[in-house]
Amino acid sequence: GANIAIIAGVIAAVAIVLICLLIVMLRYMYRHKGTYHTNEAKGTEFAESADAALQDDPSLQDTGDNSRKEYF
């Protein structure tokens, strides 16, 4: 009687530990799955060089406003 209770307790403890490990592994897998987003300009993957890719980027164009220059 006591041996069966000890064996059942050990089996239950192992089952609980395995279920907890499974939950942790699934959370880790779903958290790190997916794509990442970059801030690169669209359509620049076929450019010949980095300079050519950034040449037409409107966010990098000089606005012509010389009153707001920064000096370091």
- HEC sequence for 14-46: HHHHHHHHHHHHHHHHHHCCCCCCCCCCCCCCC
pLDDT in tens, 16-70: 999 999 999 999 888 876 666 666 666 656 666 666 666 666 665 555 555 666 6
What is the structure's pLDDT at 59? 61
Q: Global pTM?
A: 0.43
